[in-house]
Amino acid sequence: MLEGNGFLFTDFNATAFYDAMERAHQFVRSSDDVAAHMAGQNARSSIYHWDRPARRYIGEVYAIKEMICAVE
């Protein structure tokens, strides 16, 4: 079973980034169709849309603001 959704690097410099890209390239070149499909599914399932929690947060902030204005 294939796990994960990317290629990690911990040192934020050009060499570490290049190494991660090289590992990704080698994975794509050497993987079969099943592994490539599973990697794609893992990546798609990990997408997080920030607009939903951001809208909820804004709504809660405005609700608190309305309560504070009503008390004053």
pLDDT at 72: 52
Residue with the two structure tokens 């947060």: 57
Distance CA 39, CA 33 (A): 10
Long-range contacts of 44-50 (CB under 8 A, 24+ apart): 45/5, 46/5
Residue with the two structure tokens 């090289």: 22
pLDDT at 68: 63
Distance CA 46, CA 37 (A): 14
Q: Quick one: which of 33, 32, 39, 8 has its CA closest to 21?
A: 8
Contact 30, 22 (CB under 8 A): no
pLDDT at 47: 75
The ranges of the chain with pLDDT < 70 are: 66-72
